[in-house]
Amino acid sequence: MKPTTFAKYLTDFFGKYLEGERGYSANTVSAYRDAMTLFLIFMRVTYDISADRIDFKDITQERIIAFLGWLETERKCSVQTRNARLAAIHSFFRFLLYRSVDHLSEWQRILAIKIKKTSRPMVVYLTSEGMKLLFAQPDTSKSKGRRDLTLLSLMYECAGRVQEVAGLVPARVNFGKPTTLRITGKGNKSRLVPISEQGSKLLKAYMQENHLLDDYANAYPLFSNGRGDMLSRMGITAILKKYAAMARKINPALIPSKISPHVLRHSMAMMLQRNEVNLVCIRDFLGHKSVTTTEIYARVDNKQKREAIEKTSLSPTPKKIPSWQNNKGLLLWLENLGK
């Protein structure tokens, strides 16, 4: 079967444009691919148009809007995920603007679809007590438990995104003073992230045990599964949820009901903010593009609010009531005196 024009341009979009011309990271390409795969599934399920037959005449603004609604209602996706899928679709049709002018009017209508407004969710994070409880769960008498403890510790200390941590290799660890990690984040941008001396000792012991300090292991995954393959995003999430469930049984107040690797990133960011680290420094530490994103951590928790209120209060101290005024019998006698 001869490939459709849509198939040709979609192949060029992923095969040449995203990485070759725009230099997008593998994670971004993967996310865009997921979005387009879901769209193809939607077209097959809803309009009975298979992926090998779909062409530009089948794609309209109305169908893209229907797809976005399908994501929310049928797939139970959040508004944030819906918007991320739309961003991928927008990127594809911006790519088409200068390559396929036959349907230019429709491409412009699709690009006019708006991002859906959503309220910014509250930052979910663990307190220092919650982190200590989480770290106490892995069984460090076993090698797998030692790996998991090192993984959780490093995720917290470097405040890395889950894929950033999953992609670490020994060559990106520098045991200097302080120990630093070279992390590749969004847009293939790298940043140096320091970790504490105690975190460094834990990481070094783990790497020594698993022969990851040897030169031949420089490109090996820092954290691998039983087959020696790099831990996946889902694998890391499963490890975290396992120990979070164990910790929650001990003290549910310290462990949120819903937890993800990003919670550990939030936890370190909040710890830095509570220790009065400048927002610009936190931005660079997290690899945010703009300090505006980092400002969410400036929302202080209730304890900080109470402490601030106590420090800034100008209310006068209440005067002490004379002891004789607490004697109700005496007060009654005085009130009746002279009646």
Which entry of 63, 146, 266, 288 is annotated as an active-site residue? 288
Active site residue 288: yes
Q: Which of 33, 44, 109, 186 is catalytic?
A: 186
Euclidean distance between CA atoms 155 and 262, whole angstroms: 9
The rounded distance, in Å, linking the Cα atoms of 286 and 183 is 10
Q: Which of 271, 289, 305 is nearest to 123 (CA)?
A: 271
- Annotation marks residue 262 as catalytic: yes
Catalytic residue chosen out of the listed positions 63, 146, 147, 265: 265
161 is catalytic: yes
SS3 168: coil
Q: Single out the catalytic residue among 33, 103, 262, 274.
A: 262
The rounded distance, in Å, linking the Cα atoms of 159 and 274 is 15
- Which single residue is written with the structure tokens 């893209």? 64
Known catalytic membership, residue 146? no
Give the contacts of 139 (CB within 8 A, at least 6 positions apart): 145
Active site residue 47: no
Using CA atoms, how far apart are residues 197 and 195, in angstroms rounded to an integer?
Answer: 7
Give me the catalytic one of 82, 85, 147, 161: 161
Question: Has 265 been annotated as catalytic?
Answer: yes
Buried b (16+ CB within 10 A) or exposed e, 42-81: bbeeeeebebeebebeebebebbeebbebbeeeeebeeee
Task: Determine the Cα angle at 52 with ends 20 and 68, to 5°.
Answer: 75
Catalytic residue among 24, 125, 156, 297: 297
Give the active site residues.
161, 186, 262, 265, 288, 297
